[in-house]
Amino acid sequence: MKNLLVAVAFLSLAAFARAASPQVVDISQGDLEAAIASKSATILDVNGSDSYRDGHIPGAIDYLAHRQDIAKLLPADKGALVIAYCGDIHCTAYRQAAYAALDLGYTNVRHFAPGIKGWKESGERIEKNGN
């Protein structure tokens, strides 16, 4: 019983900490394009390595391939812009990367809701295999 109470208390504290932490808000395509042009954001693709190889937003990192080392790939400045995206407006996989960044102390984490589908449909250039 004591272990159960400790587990419930821990989960409650974790939920409170998440609720008290900065929230992930959406970023517009125009703001994303500006961040790419100025190289002022770290972009995390959470679609999986196969999808990443087929095409990703320019400069994006394959989050799932690098999640164990993500702290090394993010900037030292915890206020730097970090953008996570996945498939489309219905996809919630982006949360894996966004919450990982928040848990590491990043305070300017955004979500590109249209995802790779919206990016492609807008006619924007994609990169393949990191090119």
Residue 71 in any domain: the answer is yes
Question: Is 101 contained in some domain?
Answer: yes
- Position 91 in a domain: yes
| CA-wise closest residue to 45 among 70, 23, 18, 22 | 70
Give me the pLDDT at residue 23, please.
85
State how far the Cα of 82 lies from the Cα of 21, in Å rounded to an integer. 15
The enclosing H or E element of 98 equals helix 94-103
- CATH code assigned at 29: 3.40.250.10
Residue 3 resides in a domain: no
Does residue 104 belong to any structural domain of this protein?
A: yes
pLDDT band at 129; cut points 50, 70, 90: confident
Asked if residue 8 belongs to a domain, the reply is no
Please determine, for residue 114, whether its predicted confidence score (pLDDT) is greater than 50. Answer: yes
Domain-embedded: residue 14: no
Q: Which helix (H) or strand (E) holds 37?
A: helix 29-38
Q: What is the value of pTM for the model shown?
A: 0.82
Render pLDDT for 41-93 as a digit per residue (tens, 0 to 9).
999 999 999 999 999 999 999 999 999 999 999 999 999 999 999 999 999 99
pLDDT in tens, 6-47: 443 444 444 444 444 468 999 999 999 999 999 999 999 999
Domain count of the fold of the chain: 1
Q: What is the pLDDT of residue 96?
A: 97
**4 pLDDT higher than 60:** no
Domain assignment present for 128: no
Report DSSP state, residue 127: B
Q: In the chain, what percentage of residues exceed pLDDT 90? A: 80
Full domain range(s) for residue 54: 23-121
Residue 42 parent element (H or E): strand 41-45
**Burial of 111 from C-beta contacts in 10 A (0-12 / 13-18 / 19+):** buried
